[in-house]
């Protein structure tokens, strides 16, 4: 009988309660996500304490559903991996404490997972796992875009990894959410803007592209691959005020403004990624994170990358916060015998890291 490494993953970093069973690090047997969007919509954003209370209600049913759907015995689970950061502290602690209890009750290892690194790994679930085992695919450049992060991460074949660019203010997803709020489109803003933009003109209005050397002023070496979106948000605010406010705008204003605003974000993401890929001679580019679900970003980045660069596009079901990426990444730690103790704590901010565990020895 072939032994399988069956790992349970738990994710509660923000407003989704998720659990997943993944076998051998890539075979996703179940991926259950319970969303809290309806609870937070009235507030226009995620309320950490409310998120924690909802996680408490949902976590056991979600874990039970994941195990049942995977058609495995709970006794066959070899380890439990759980997001312990970065994220919202009250939310993280719910998942972490549940995982601690599960680990103790079942007598299996506990594995703490960096949510940011897991987003990158999400691109390699299922069939894409083969890409990791081919040295010709390295260096791999990952564009990680979500509500909390916008970063370019370079991964080398020797496992050495570094963030070569990040946002100095708002993340791309945050900029889209704030833009939707200014346009009074609702929450969550990113998917709404993506939808409404399909009826608008992307070049109708000229929104700024920060840190791109516009206006003849060169970008500093330190900011060559960094991002900035706070000025874009301010520009949108002035744009709306010039029209006398949202209540006074004319037909097609919302669609054209949303399309132009979204394109300004996507344009910068693509320009910086392509430039970094060429500068570092990347052989592959990964698009991952919640904003990677955006339909225009997926098309634009693929079309702009040189044809000789592999484009690894995360399946939409694994772009947002999910537990499959947590369980899948956890298997790599389990295989190497790298476990966490029960004193494992949660953290809110992304720590520095220089290596990632899922690159095989090549």
Two domains, one topology: 6-122+319-336 and 134-314 = yes
Among the residues of the chain, which ranges form H helices?
A: 37-40, 48-70, 89-106, 115-122, 172-182, 189-197, 230-242, 253-279, 295-304, 324-336
- For 291, the 3-state DSSP assignment is helix
- For 33, the 3-state DSSP assignment is strand
Q: Does the structural domain 6-122+319-336 have CATH classification 3.10.400.10?
A: no
Give the Cα-Cα-Cα angle 81, 99, 105 (nearest 5 degrees): 115
Domain boundaries, given as residue ranges, for the chain: 6-122+319-336, 134-314
Cβ atoms of 9 and 318 within 8 Å: the answer is: no
DSSP assignment letter at 292: G
Q: Which of 236, 318, 314, 305 is nearest to 272 (CA)?
A: 305
pLDDT of residue 1: 38
pLDDT of residue 215: 64
For the residues of 263-288, what is the DSSP string, one character each? HHHHHHHHHHHHHHHHHTT-SEEEEE
Strand bridging mode 310-313 / 110-114: unpaired
pLDDT of residue 147: 87
**pLDDT, tens digit only, all 362 positions of the chain:** 356 999 999 999 999 999 999 999 999 999 999 999 889 988 888 999 999 999 999 999 999 999 999 999 999 999 999 999 999 999 999 999 999 999 999 999 999 999 999 999 999 999 889 999 999 999 999 999 998 899 999 999 999 999 999 999 999 999 999 999 999 998 888 999 999 999 999 999 999 999 998 766 789 999 999 999 999 999 999 999 998 888 878 889 999 999 999 999 999 999 999 999 999 999 999 999 999 999 999 999 999 999 999 999 999 999 999 999 999 999 999 999 999 999 999 999 999 998 898 999 87
pLDDT of residue 197: 95
Q: Which CATH superfamily is domain 134-314 in?
A: ATPase, nucleotide binding domain (3.30.420.40)
Cβ atoms of 40 and 15 within 8 Å: the answer is: yes
d(CA 14, CA 40): 11
> Which two three-digit tokens encode residue 345?
């704590």
Return the residue matching tokens 């406010």: 245
């Amino acid at each position: 009988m072939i032994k399988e490494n069956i790992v349970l993953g738990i994710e509660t970093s923000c407003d989704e309660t998720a659990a997943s069973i993944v076998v051998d690090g890539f075979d996703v047997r179940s991926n259950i996500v319970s969303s809290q969007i309806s609870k937070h919509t009235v507030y226009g954003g995620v309320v950490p304490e409310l998120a924690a209370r909802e996680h408490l209600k949902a976590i056991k049913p979600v874990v039970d559903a994941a195990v049942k759907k995977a058609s495995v015995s709970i006794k066959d689970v070899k380890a439990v991996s759980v997001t312990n950061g970065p994220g919202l502290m009250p939310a993280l602690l719910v998942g972490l404490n549940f995982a601690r209890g599960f680990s103790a009750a079942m007598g299996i290892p506990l594995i703490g997972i960096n949510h940011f690194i897991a987003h990158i790994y999400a691109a390699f679930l299922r069939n894409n796992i083969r890409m990791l085992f081919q040295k010709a695919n390295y260096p791999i450049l990952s564009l990680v875009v979500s509500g909390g992060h916008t970063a370019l991460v370079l991964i080398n074949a020797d496992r050495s990894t570094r963030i070569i660019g990040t946002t100095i203010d708002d993340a791309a997803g945050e900029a889209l959410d704030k833009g939707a709020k200014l346009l009074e489109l609702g929450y969550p803003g990113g998917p709404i803007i993506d939808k409404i933009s399909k009826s608008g003109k992307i070049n109708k209005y000229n929104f700024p592209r920060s840190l791109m050397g516009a206006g003849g002023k060169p970008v500093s070496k330190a900011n060559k691959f960094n991002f900035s979106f706070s000025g874009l948000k301010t520009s949108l605010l002035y744009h709306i005020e010039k029209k006398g406010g949202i209540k006074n705008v004319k037909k097609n204003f919302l669609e054209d403004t949303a399309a132009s605003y979204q394109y300004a974000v996507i344009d910068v993401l693509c320009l910086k990624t392509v430039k970094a890929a060429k500068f570092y001679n990347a052989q592959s580019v990964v698009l991952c994170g919640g904003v990677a679900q955006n339909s225009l970003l997926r098309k634009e980045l693929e079309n702009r990358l040189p044809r000789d660069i592999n484009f690894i596009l995360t399946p939409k079901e694994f772009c947002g916060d999910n537990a499959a990426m947590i369980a899948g990444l956890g298997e790599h730690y389990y295989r190497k015998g790298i476990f966490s103790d029960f004193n494992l704590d949660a953290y809110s901010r992304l720590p520095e890291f220089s290596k990632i565990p899922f690159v095989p020895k090549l």
